[in-house]
Chains A and B, each alone.
Chain A
């Protein structure tokens, strides 16, 4: 419990650091939001007025702290471009992206862990060759390509969803979910292949260990050894890997959302960067960082639940 509290504190510090760096990045990168908003024809007086209106005339540190206090009181600021509160703008997009990532993550877990264990049985057989080849193929094919393929097969031919026309999540939940499911499949295929390969090599390593011999000597059959003993012992590195995966699929979702026409965070982030819409970019960057850090924290806590030996470090 103490350890969990420590992790959460660390999480907060990381996020503050990330937000500071994101703020700093825009300070260094050339470009003036006022200029972007008003165009090149704007008079210097007008530019100055807009800068004042946006608060850009204040020193960097002051602006950062006012943003930070706003963030903790739930106020992410107002978009330069849309003149709307940032949270109102990004909330539906956060929702879409999180759904896609969530579905994709669930797919990765429920497919790759059993298959990883099961594929242990394929060692030293002709199957092994096909398995490896298929695995490599899945890893090598980029999600945007499978995205196009799936859109064509399931969208245009089989009409499971309408490519390019994403239904509103709140009005047509089932329809939106169907749409997002295929995006999530694209996103998860390479990751599933990687996780299976990793799980399999971990299982092979664990099978060499002495406790497996003990388990056999007690009368366990192959399934008893694999599921009763080896599975749990193989999970720790896999959970760590899944934590990283959870962080990476949100990056991968940018491309896939584009292919499937899902209005998500990625697309909005790219647009806001080119518009120099700092408050929006800042908010999205912090949300992404939050996701990544949370993924790592959750993976650590899950690992501690699995392996009691990892709990020792926390009590110190």
Chain B
């Protein structure tokens, strides 16, 4: 459903390419994990799919095809039709990613307001359904709350609700659980699995946490310094990593029997 062909991204202020020729596909209905350390270019990859890179500040080449349309070279008005409607994005910090002065319900309904002709009543019904989808208790009350009145986990659920409200084909999740504590993290992962199952939304899940990726994703891509070092079935990569970098990453996961290498 989404195909990245030979993507290069170079910021004018940097010597090295942030993304140096990546080719990657996300299949219909799958959750693809994109793993790498900080600065490996995983967020830049996601932002170029989402069309959120500042185009004046970087040089882009390659192709990103969503249902046959090239997103990388689409103009602004075409991109706006795709934003939120075909691609939803969930960011790392739910608190700062939400407009602090807008009620949660209106933020969740924003994609519907922009992309559909629904009446406000219909919209509210859909928003309440989306809040219910992400398992927020008492959607009616949440609808009228401001972001600061919610906990971090609830905020992230609301952000996910906002991203799925208009049923996009693809959900980009940029480290959505990194800012949350471990129990909430596990709940969010379960929620994402459920949404993937029930709505069939394809997802790209970006993380530096291999354990999280292993729980969620069938397929995983490993990035290092802007390049893709290994792609494949998650279990296979975990049990039999081919690339030395992947091997190092996996051996760095602390387990019950082996202490973390110092």
Contacts and interface: CB of A to CB of B under 8 A. Distances in A.
A157 to B, nearest CB: 47
A217 B83 contact: yes
Interface in B10-49: none
Contact of B114 (A211, A219, A229, A307): A219
- Count class of interface residues, chain B: 20 to 34
A233 B84 contact: no
Interface string A204-217: 00000111011111
A306 B102 CA distance: 10
A31 interface: no
Interface string A221-261: 10010000100110000000000000000000000000000
Contact of A211 (B83, B85, B98): B98
Contacts of A229: 99, 102
| Binding site secondary structure of chain A | helix
Interface in B109-143: 110-111, 114-115
A219 B76 CA distance: 10
Given A213-B52, A217-B52, A309 B100 contact: yes
Residue among B81, B100, B111, B159 facing the most chain A CB atoms (10 A cut-off): B100
Contacts of A2: none
B262 interface: no
Given A211-B99, A233-B100, A306-B101, A220 B148 contact: no
A313 interface: no
- Count class of interface residues, chain A: 20 to 34
B162 interface: yes
Contact of B83 (A219, A232, A306, A307): A219
A311 to B, nearest CB: 10
A220 B114 contact: yes
A125 interface: no
A309 B148 CA distance: 7
A83 interface: no
Contacts of B84: 217-219
A59 interface: no
Given A220-B110, A220-B114, A213 B148 contact: no
B97 A211 contact: yes
Nearest to A311: B146
Interface of A: 209-211, 213-221, 224, 229, 232-233, 306-309
Interface of B: 50, 52, 76-77, 80-85, 87-89, 91, 93, 96-102, 110-111, 114-115, 146, 148-149, 159, 162
Given A211-B98, A219-B84, 14 more contacts: A210-B91, A214-B91, A215-B110, A217-B87, A217-B88, A217-B89, A219-B80, A219-B83, A219-B85, A219-B114, A221-B76, A308-B148, A308-B149, A309-B100
11 contacts: A211-B98, A214-B89, A214-B159, A217-B87, A218-B114, A221-B76, A229-B99, A306-B101, A308-B146, A309-B100, A309-B146
